[in-house]
Amino acid sequence: MTVRVVVGAQFGDEAKGKITDYLAANARYVVRSAGGPNTGHTVHTPEGTVILHQLSCGVLRPHTVGVSGPGMVLQPMKLEDEMHDLEKRGLLRGEVVISDRAHAILPIHEIEDAWEDDLRGKKDPHASLGTTRRGVGPAYADRAGRWGIRMSDLTRPAILRDRLELLYATKTHIPGLPPREELTGQLAEVGSRLAPLIRPTEPIVWDAIARGDNVLLEGAQSALLDVDFGTYPYVTSSHPTSAGALVGSGIPPTEVDEVIGVSKAYTTRVGAGPFPTEDTGEAGEYLRRVGGERGATTGRERRCGWLDLSLLRYVARLNGLTSLAISKVDVLGGLDEVPVCVQYVMPDGSTVRDLLPSQADDLARAQPVYERLPGWPEFHERLKERIRREGARALPTELRRYLGRIASETGVAVEYVGYGPGRDETVRLDIGPNRPSAQGLPAWSG
Ligand code: IMP
Ligand code: MG
């Protein structure tokens, strides 16, 4: 029995969907615990590509239960659409369970999200966050303010009516809201259709753990977008850390066995906020093109740059990572050298190696110090074929050194490597501190 937490170790879009889907093959329950329709988890199944927003990867595999957990904010109409789309394609194979405690995102939250971000931008163009405009921030704000509507409220028409009346009273300053009566009716209808899926999910997961089932917590967004520990205010409104995964699912910390941080071999960010290793020149353009770096939810172009070991060390400490999954190593294939940021020099001359300053502006002015590591060959089909056949020992030597360097710099073993989008393009290895070097791999070294 294993309880594993998968967390994003950068600014999002690290291929968490892919690694969660890979690990879900051995899981009985896959639980999402934060975020909502701002998420886009891309999974390449043999039957086609799926982008999951509010459902967990668990719904894609038979014999797996996909839980949309208590810490999530769910847009009920879009949730229905997502299920129908998967059903139509024959890909809804697992069971879907929706937490009765999860909060509902209403169309009024979506309008509010856009209105708020426009307001920030009007005051100061740099203040706009570039949210996904999916209503996530306002729904979490109403949760904390105790105005929120929960998924179980949708199944109780009288309660829903009263709660909605109260909520509308707080939003009179927001233009263009739909008439309340109309929305009440619409939500009650969706609620009655979703009712069979809306249940208390904590006891389901507790019982699973007690039985010895494998439970996977699927992180959304990422540690650097955490509302407290990320680059505030350029963050999302939830806790996408390992601690947040527990709060958002009702699983006690004492049950967790592994925390897997997912990082690309380089870095991307979508939306505003500091990004010290961003490359706004040719290299960034190269990464965007070769890596196909476009947002899965909003279609926005992602900002691109090199791997930031300073931030990765911070994330390792913050989340208690027990291993790393490094994705998209194929994108860097064919480069002569790969720069990695090993620390920053701050405007006052001090150095930073494993901290995130509380002021976003300080991080924006940090000067990254790079080392250039030798690059590895392109990932041709023949190389991929060899890796599929022989496993990690077929990875190019320079790449293994790169991974070894990540492990030694962060103190966390690299256990999974993604070398392509496909379901079978993940290889398991074991490079890192205190790990026996598996499959004849060289021990980690600089
Ligand atoms: P929100 O979560 O929609 O409020 O957006 C807040 C910030 O987090 C924006 O910069 C978004 O681009 C970013 N963000 C939210 N969800 C994701 C995600 O799943 N991947 C990457 N960035 C995200
Ligand atoms: Mg994404």
Q: Which atom of ligand 1 is nearest to the CA of 272?
A: 10
Please pick, among 41, 53, 103, 109, the residue that the annotation labels catalytic.
41
Measured in Å, residue 262 CA sits from the centre of ligand 1 at 17
325 is a domain residue: yes
- Indicate whether residue 130 lines ligand 1 (CB < 6 A): yes
- Indicate whether residue 268 lines ligand 1 (CB < 6 A): no
Predicted local distance difference test score (pLDDT) of residue 239: 98
217 shares a domain with 133: no
Distance in angstroms (rounded) separating the CA atoms of residues 58 and 45 = 13
CATH label of the domain that carries residue 116: 1.10.300.10
Predicted local distance difference test score (pLDDT) of residue 434: 54
DSSP state, 312? H
57 shares a domain with 23: yes
Distance in angstroms (rounded) separating the CA atoms of residues 231 and 363 = 8
Q: What is the pLDDT along the chain (446 residues), one digit of tens a residue?
A: 799 999 999 999 999 999 999 999 999 999 999 999 999 999 999 999 999 999 999 999 999 999 999 999 999 999 999 999 999 999 999 999 999 999 999 999 999 999 999 999 998 988 999 999 999 999 999 999 999 999 999 999 999 999 999 999 999 999 999 999 999 999 999 999 999 999 999 999 999 999 999 999 999 999 999 999 999 999 999 999 999 999 999 999 999 999 999 999 999 999 999 999 999 999 999 999 999 999 888 889 999 999 999 999 999 999 999 999 999 999 999 999 999 999 999 999 999 999 999 999 999 999 999 999 999 999 999 999 999 999 999 999 999 999 999 999 999 999 999 999 998 999 999 777 655 443 334 333 33
189 is a domain residue: yes
- Indicate whether residue 34 lines ligand 1 (CB < 6 A): no
Q: Which of 196, 219, 252 is the last residue of a domain?
A: 196
- Indicate whether residue 38 lines ligand 1 (CB < 6 A): yes
Predicted local distance difference test score (pLDDT) of residue 445: 34
Count of the separate structural domains present in the chain: 2
Predicted local distance difference test score (pLDDT) of residue 234: 98
Predicted local distance difference test score (pLDDT) of residue 431: 79
442 is a domain residue: no
246 shares a domain with 333: yes
Predicted local distance difference test score (pLDDT) of residue 443: 39
400 shares a domain with 331: yes
Predicted local distance difference test score (pLDDT) of residue 437: 43
Distance in angstroms (rounded) separating the CA atoms of residues 170 and 115 = 15
171 shares a domain with 304: no
In testing the pocket of ligand 1, which one of 11, 105, 112, 131 has its CB within 8 Å of the most ligand atoms? 131
Nearest 5 degrees, angle CA 118-CA 124-CA 130?
A: 45
Q: Which ligand is nearest to the CA of 14?
A: 2
Distance in angstroms (rounded) separating the CA atoms of residues 161 and 138 = 20
Q: Which of 167, 196, 225 is the last residue of a domain?
A: 196
305 shares a domain with 418: yes
Distance in angstroms (rounded) separating the CA atoms of residues 85 and 104 = 20
97 is a domain residue: no
390 shares a domain with 286: yes
- What residue numbers bound the domain in which 190 lies? 103-196
Distance in angstroms (rounded) separating the CA atoms of residues 238 and 227 = 6
96 is a domain residue: no
Predicted local distance difference test score (pLDDT) of residue 1: 77
76 is a domain residue: no
239 is a domain residue: yes
Q: How many CA atoms does the CB half-sphere of 248 hold within 13 Å?
A: 31
Q: Which of 137, 162, 196 is the last residue of a domain?
A: 196
399 shares a domain with 329: yes
Least Cα distance to 272 among 171, 372, 125 occurs for 125
192 shares a domain with 217: no
Q: Which ligand is nearest to the CA of 51?
A: 2
155 shares a domain with 59: no
74 is a domain residue: no
CATH label of the domain that carries residue 315: 3.90.170.10
288 shares a domain with 173: no
Predicted local distance difference test score (pLDDT) of residue 435: 55
224 shares a domain with 182: no
Specify whether 41 is catalytic: yes
Could you tell me the pTM of the whole model? 0.95
